[in-house]
């Protein structure tokens, strides 16, 4: 039976599993800082697998912008590359997507009981859906209805500059600037904050 490697790679932890058409293995979690490269962590995970069933490909959700099949993690030292992964492992293919893009793609499948209305009022069917995910960084994504169906838009919006709303907040932002050189939203609403 053919399987695929599933990975969720964030700034602090990486999680790996193997999925077949009928089951998904137990998830293996490791600290990103424990490995020099993503390939080392993938190799360590695959070494735990004692199945003779082949692993056909890899689907990797990574915490950073993805361009041209590559992702340099925003809050960790790893750089992931689809071509490098295929060359380093017996995979036919590898696909890297932004981690919040992957999560946002499933937003429309949530049961309404799993969501919370923000800002009052009633939900508007077909309105854009926003996803904010504070972790090591602050991930953001949106799902909007386009002419061809739902469109997922990922963002590195956590790097936007934090603005003060009054003199008190301006002083707080000033302290953050002195400590870090720049006051981003992520510095306040995620792990470093």
Query: In sequence order, what DSSP letters do the residues of 38-65 get, joined into one string?
Result: HHHHHHHHHHT----S-EEEEEEEESS-
Q: What is the pLDDT of residue 49?
A: 94
Note the pLDDT tens digit of each residue in 71-113: 999 889 999 999 999 999 999 999 999 999 998 998 888 887 8
Among 101, 173, 100, 110, which Cα is nearest to 138's? 100
- Following CA atoms 52, 84, 141, 63 in sequence, which dihedral angle do they give, to the nearest 10 degrees? 90
Note the pLDDT tens digit of each residue in 175-187: 989 988 888 888 8
Contacts of 89 (CB under 8 A, 6+ apart): 39, 42, 43, 46, 55, 58
Dmax (CA) of the chain: 64
In what order do the strands lie in the sheet containing 3-9? 28-31, 13-19, 3-9, 55-62, 93-98
Q: Which residue has the higher pLDDT, 131 or 85?
A: 85
Note the pLDDT tens digit of each residue in 26-72: 999 999 999 999 999 999 999 999 999 999 999 999 999 999 999 99
Full-model pTM: 0.82
Which of 135-139, 141-145, 182-186 is the most confident on average? 141-145
Note the pLDDT tens digit of each residue in 156-171: 888 888 888 899 999 9
Q: Which residue has the higher pLDDT, 117 or 154?
A: 154
Reading the block at residue 129, the tokens are 């859906």
């Amino acid at each position: 039976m053919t399987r695929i490697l599933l990975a969720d790679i964030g700034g602090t932890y990486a999680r790996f599993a193997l999925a077949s058409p009928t089951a998904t293995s137990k998830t293996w979690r490791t600290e990103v800082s424990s490995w020099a490269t993503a390939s080392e962590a993938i190799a360590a995970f695959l070494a735990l697998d004692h199945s003779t069933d082949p692993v056909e490909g890899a689907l990797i959700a990574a915490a950073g912008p993805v361009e041209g099949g590559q992702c340099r993690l925003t809050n960790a030292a790893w750089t992931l590359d689809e071509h490098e992964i295929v060359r380093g492992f017996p995979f036919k293919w590898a696909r890297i997507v932004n981690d919040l893009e992957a999560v946002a793609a499933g937003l429309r499948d949530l049961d309404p009981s799993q969501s919370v209305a923000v800002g009052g009022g009633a939900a508007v069917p077909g309105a854009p859906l926003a996803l904010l995910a504070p972790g090591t960084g602050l991930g953001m994504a949106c799902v909007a209805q386009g002419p061809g169906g739902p469109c997922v838009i990922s963002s590195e919006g956590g790097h936007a500059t934090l603005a003060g709303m009054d003199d008190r907040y301006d002083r707080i932002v000033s302290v953050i600037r002195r400590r870090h050189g720049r006051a981003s939203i992520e510095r306040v609403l995620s792990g470093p904050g």
